[in-house]
């Protein structure tokens, strides 16, 4: 029984981790109907930003983690703004769906190799001040870092919901997601909203990197290892649907944990991607049916 409970806790932690990464992906898709392959590299850059800030502040003693998270968020946001202004916005102007998609791959490869040149290939040991602290209850345990990941995921989801539902900017962003031309006629600048989407999604990715850094094997390829699962989650959840993404993230996390326990970790990808294929065949709209007006 303890093992079942423990794997449940592990699954929720893993699911929260995936949700943090997938939120930005689903936000960009919800507004732009565009897949951003560079998202993984923003996650990685966020992790490195937090790592280097922590080491700069405390010489590796583990201080400055909160500041690291904030810096990762800012770095991600700025990078999102630069990417959109320099690459994606000009390409969108050419009225091609394919060009921005290919450009995200180009940006991804460029960022990955730039990080490889800057930070080198050797794995970094990114230990937050909470990596080694454990909370035990009954026979189960959770690291403080993992609890923090869950807390930050919940908080981020709450803030994102509040922003989208109750603020003028959030409503404007949803309007652009539903009908770009109609939103423009209502006096909303769609390009500005698209920029805002990229900034928010990339800031979320940067912050996710700072949260995941102590969990991931931190190398320039760190984000790549989770992004495939994040894409799967976005598809299973219903492309562009935030509720679906959260549900699918937790589901995949739990599936991974219980597969590890009862079938073996070598079976994880088979089970997760079999679920993905089943969803595509049986319910291609995802767990929560895609309705453009309800997305984002």
Where does this chain bind other proteins (CB under 8 A)? 3, 6-7, 10-11, 13-14, 17, 113, 116, 120-125, 127, 131-132, 134, 141, 143, 146, 212, 215-219, 221, 225-226, 228-229, 256-257, 260-261, 264-266, 268-269
Give the nearer residue to other proteins in terms of CB position, either 90 or 123: 123
User: Closer CB to other proteins, residue 90 or residue 265?
Assistant: 265
How far is 244 from 246, CA to CA, in rounded Å? 5
Rounded to the nearest 10 degrees, the angle between the axes of helix 222-237 and helix 39-58 is 130
Spatial distance between the Cα atoms of 6 and 30, rounded to a whole number of angstroms: 34
- Residue 249, Cβ density class (10 Å: 0-12 exposed, 13-18 middle, ≥19 buried): buried
Give the shortest CB-217-to-other proteins separation in angstroms. 3
Nearer to other proteins, 35 or 268 (CB): 268
Pick from 201, 187, 196: which is nearest to 240 by CA? 201
| Cα dihedral sign, 137-143-148-153 | negative
Shortest distance, position 200 Cβ to other proteins, whole Å: 25
Report the residue number, 143 or 241, with the smaller CB distance to other proteins.
Answer: 143
- Least distance (Å) from other proteins to the CB of residue 121? 3
CB 83 within 8 A of CB 107: yes
Q: Whole-number minimum distance, CB 91 to other proteins, in Å? A: 27
- Nearest to other proteins of 80, 223 (CB atom): 223
Question: What minimum distance in Å lies between the beta carbon of 116 and other proteins?
Answer: 6
Handedness of CA 279, 13, 45, 214 (dihedral sign): negative
């Amino acid at each position: 029984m303890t093992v079942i409970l423990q794997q449940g806790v592990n699954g929720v932690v893993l699911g929260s981790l995936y949700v943090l990464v997938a939120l930005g992906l689903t936000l960009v898709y919800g507004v732009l109907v565009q897949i951003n392959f560079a998202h993984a590299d923003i996650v990685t850059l966020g992790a490195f930003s937090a790592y280097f800030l922590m080491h700069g502040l405390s010489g590796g003693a583990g201080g400055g983690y909160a500041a690291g998270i904030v810096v990762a968020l800012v770095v991600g946001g700025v990078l999102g703004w630069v990417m959109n202004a320099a690459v994606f916005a000009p390409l969108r102007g050419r009225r091609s769906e394919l060009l921005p998609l290919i450009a995200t791959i180009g940006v991804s490869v460029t960022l990955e190799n730039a990080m490889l040149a800057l930070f080198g290939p050797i794995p970094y040991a990114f230990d937050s001040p909470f990596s080694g602290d454990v909370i035990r209850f009954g026979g189960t345990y959770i690291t403080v870092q993992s609890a923090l990941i869950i807390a930050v995921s919940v908080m981020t989801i709450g803030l994102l919901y509040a922003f989208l539902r109750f603020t003028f900017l959030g409503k404007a962003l949803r309007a652009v997601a539903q009908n770009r031309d109609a939103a423009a006629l209502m006096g909303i600048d769609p390009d500005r909203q698209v920029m805002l989407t990229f900034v928010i999604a990339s800031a979320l990715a940067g912050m996710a990197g700072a949260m995941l850094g102590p969990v991931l094997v931190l190398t320039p390829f760190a984000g790549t290892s989770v992004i495939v699962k994040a894409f799967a989650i976005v598809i299973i959840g219903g492309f562009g649907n935030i509720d679906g993404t959260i549900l699918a993230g937790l589901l995949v996390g739990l599936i991974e944990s219980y597969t590890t326990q009862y079938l073996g970790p070598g079976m994880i990808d088979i089970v997760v991607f079999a679920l993905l294929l089943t969803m595509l065949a049986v319910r291609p709209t995802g767990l929560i049916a895609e309705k453009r007006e309800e997305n984002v």
